[in-house]
Amino acid sequence: MTASGDGDALVIFMPSGRRGRFRVGTPLLDAARSLGVYVESVCGGRGICGRCQIVPSHGIHAKHGVTFAPEHLSTVNDVEERYRRLRSLAPGRRLSCQAKVVGDAVIDVPSDTAVNQQVVRKRAEAREITPDPATRLLTVVLPPADMQLPQGDASRIRAAVAATHGVEAALGDPVVLQALQPALARGRGEVTVAVHADAGAAEIIAIWPGRVERALGIACDIGSTTIACHLVDLLTGRTISSAGTSNPQIRFGEDLMSRVSYVMLNPDGLGALTECVRDAINVLAARVAAFAGASPDDILEAVLVGNPVMHHLLLGIDPTPLGQAPFTLAVSDALEIRARDLGLRLNSCARVYLLPLIAGHVGADAAAVALAEAPQREEATTLIVDIGTNAEIILGNRTRVLAASSPTGPAFEGAQISAGQRAAPGAIERVRIDPATLEPRIRIIGADMWSNEPGFAEAAETLGVTGICGSGIIEALGEMFLAGIIGADGTIDGGLTARSDRVVPDGRTFAYRLWPGPVDIRISQTDVRAIQLAKGALYAGTRLLMDRLGIDRVDRIRLAGAFGSHIDPKYAMIIGLIPDCDLADVSAIGNAAGTGARMALLSRTHRREVEGLVRAIEKVETALEPRFQEHFVAAMAFPHASDPFERLSREVPLPERTSASAARAGRRRDRGRTGRGTGEA
């Protein structure tokens, strides 16, 4: 394909291979973002920061059937020339915020441009949202004050806003009143006001001299482990910048319940935890604003989502009742609060919208996921699972939507696993085990190659191979099962010590040496049990909801959350984490909570939608359900006993087996159906 005068063109980004057609004239930065390709921009696309550099490829890419020529990007404009002159640009590089699509192109995103994407695994998804923000900017021009008409300037501004824009808005916040006359003076009668109107009456929340045309908001996903913040242009809907940090509350407790304990045991505990999370948000807000060449004072709105404990701590509410039955929330409704009442340093009058909570353990983050995935819009049945210490499970369709929480424990995040750790560079995230040799191949976070490929040794040298994270555990266990190292009941086959030095005695049981080293990274029997308990709880919760709906399979499965987006769905199915569903309909949806938060930030319609959805969702309390225990036990096996092994083998091409291992597999299958094992070969 050659360059076309107008119309659109194909753009492919490497190394991800994501591609799409874009109208001629589209800035490459926008094209990348809309495909979910992470290209950083600090200056908001003004050609100042130089962080958005890309390398356009030359030549013919037969595989993609594209001929690329330099003429297929717009010529260097003044802004880019200026940058090149002042800051220098390596040969062959372009600023993607300035370079526009002219014809088909293959664009390499160099690693230094993509550098931040691994640390925070909660990137904003590139989702189209029709803006209907609660905050608008309206500019008015006032004539000079007239002594004959002694009404105050506040009244004159309100009257002008009503006359010019048809909006009746109140003006009563002291901060705005203080800024009013200085703005009129500096703007010589022309001022721009920010008008906020959501569920309540319209109110003027900010005023500036002259014409202002950019309104900023933030969407934050406040996870127990990671907090992510996205800066969004409220008028265009575009995500400008993102930043993340680990949740500093970890110093008070690794997981939510230990933080609740901290509150119970320390008189100042609540204050410390609340201040901690608010500080983190303030830091992130300042950071994303700086990325965009703005200040926190420019942020007029925020939408925050989180699980119930994080939500309550943000509000300064004692979360202790959430630590024990009946797990009563202080508040479950959507809330609209002034940012300063939450100690958040945004614009002085910025408004914060908190999505509603679904139940005692199913939070606003799950509500945000439900908003983003909209199971209630389809005939098909969707299962959404957000795997954390408490897995949040949503199942439903146009007819009914149910939600439950399952106490999976922290095993999926690496806790309780002997070599377990959180996702970080150096953690094993992918595992393959040769069923014949029982030898493993691994991939670690931060390196692009398998351990048997060139370059891995250097990467491992640099990053270390430090442990195994949640997605790695899942794959390890799946592969161990497929290779026959563990049986359906989860017992590591001690007989294999004869075949491979990968299987070793470990106290009274056995372990698999995944990555030998100064300290072995092993999968112990205890590790397997921990995962069995966790997956059992998760599957049982799911099964309960399926029982309620009277179904045995689901049409679509979405794995949510930072953890969920890195699980390979195939392995989730292999180990029996998820119910019967076509593998092609199982996908990771990444940071869907963040997407839902952004949807609510940009559109009041979505806020009303999620409020209605949460009201309609039927909450199932797993602790009260008689069948939970029964499902739980059945679900601990590999794969859980109710799934026909044959169906699974159709989905997953299993390696050739020796007749001995096939016999073992058959015996395991039989034992799997009764749910018991003996540990013998």
Question: Quick one: 90 or 624, whose CB is closer to a copy of itself?
Answer: 624
The helix/strand/coil state of 94 is strand
> Which lies closer to a copy of itself via its Cβ, residue 239 or residue 622?
622
What is d(CA 234, CA 349) in angstroms, rounded to the nearest whole number?
16
Nearer residue to a copy of itself within complex by CB, 151 or 258: 151
The answer to whether 417 and 473 have CB atoms below 8 angstroms apart is yes
Terminal-to-terminal C-alpha distance of the chain: 60
Q: How far is the CB of 430 from a copy of itself (least distance, A)?
A: 38
To the nearest whole angstrom, how small is the minimum distance from the Cβ of residue 158 to a copy of itself? Answer: 8
Beta strands 59-61; 66-68: pairing state: antiparallel
Residue 300 vs 344, nearer CB to a copy of itself = 344
Which residue's CB is nearer to a copy of itself, number 580 or number 621? 621
Q: Which is nearer to a copy of itself, 200 or 666 (CB)?
A: 200
Nearest-approach distance from CB 151 to a copy of itself, in angstroms:
5
CB 138 within 8 A of CB 39: no
> Toward a copy of itself, which CB reaches closer, 155 or 452?
155
**Residues whose CB is less than 8 angstroms from the CB of residue 599 and which lie 6 or more positions away in sequence, other chains included:** 127, 129, 368, 371, 372, 606
Contact 430, 456 (CB under 8 A): no
The distance of closest approach from Cβ of residue 175 to a copy of itself in the complex, given in angstroms and rounded to an integer, is 8
**Phi, psi values for residue 194, rounded to 5°:** -95, 125
154 Cβ contact list (under 8 Å, min separation 6):
171, 177, 180
Question: Could you tell me the smallest distance in angstroms from the CB atom of residue 332 to a copy of itself?
Answer: 3
Question: Which stretches does DSSP call E strand in 210-342?
Answer: 216-222, 226-233, 239-246, 299-306, 335-338
Apex 660 CA angle, 654 and 663, nearest 5 = 75
- Indicate the residue among 310 and 428 with the shorter CB distance to a copy of itself: 310
CB of 150 to a copy of itself, least distance (A): 4
Residue 86: helix, strand or coil by DSSP?
helix
CB of 197 to a copy of itself, least distance (A): 14
From residue 371, alpha-carbon distances to 596, 603, 612 in Å are 6, 12, 10
Residue number with CB closer to a copy of itself (7 or 267): 267
Name the residues that contact a copy of itself, by CB under 8 A. Answer: 145-148, 150-155, 171-175, 177-178, 180-182, 200-201, 315-318, 321, 325-333, 335-337, 341-342, 357-360, 619, 621, 623-624
CB of 215 to a copy of itself, least distance (A): 23
Nearer to a copy of itself, 171 or 534 (CB): 171
Nearest-angstrom CA–CA distance, 331 and 340: 20
Alpha-carbon span 610 to 591, nearest angstrom: 17
Written as six digits, the tokens of 243 are 């930043």
Which contiguous run of DSSP H or E holds residue 67?
strand 66-68
Phi then psi for residue 499, to 5 deg, are -85, -30
| Length of the chain as a residue count | 681
Residue closer to a copy of itself, measured from CB, 555 or 618: 618
- Report in angstroms how near the CB of residue 224 gets to a copy of itself at its nearest: 20
Q: How far is the CB of 128 from a copy of itself (least distance, A)?
A: 31
Of 50 and 356, the one with the shorter C-beta distance to a copy of itself is 356
CA distances (Å), origin 490, targets 363, 446, 639, 674, 675: 32, 31, 9, 13, 10
Smallest distance, Å, CB 149 to a copy of itself?
Answer: 9
Shortest spacing between CB 550 and a copy of itself, in angstroms: 21
The Cα–Cα gap between 58 and 70 comes to: 7
Q: What is the largest CA-CA distance in the chain?
A: 102
As measured in angstroms, the least distance from the Cβ of 62 to a copy of itself is 58
In the complex, the smallest distance separating the C-beta of residue 139 from a copy of itself, rounded to whole angstroms, is 20
| Torsions phi, psi for 308 (to 5 deg) | -55, -40
Please state the closest distance from residue 346 (CB atom) to a copy of itself, in A: 15
Query: Based on CB atoms, which residue is closest to a copy of itself, 368 or 504?
Result: 368
- 461-486 per-residue burial string, b: 16 or more CB within 10 A, e: under 16: eebebbbbbbbbbbbbbbbbbbbbbb
Measured from the CB atom, is 27 or 356 closer to a copy of itself? 356
**In terms of DSSP H, where are the helices of 510-643?**
525-549, 561-564, 569-574, 592-602, 604-616, 628-635
Residue 114, both tokens: 């993509």
Between residues 341 and 434, which has the closer beta carbon with respect to a copy of itself?
A: 341
Structure tokens at 268: 């100042």
Asked whether the beta carbons of 540 and 405 are under 8 A apart, the reply is no
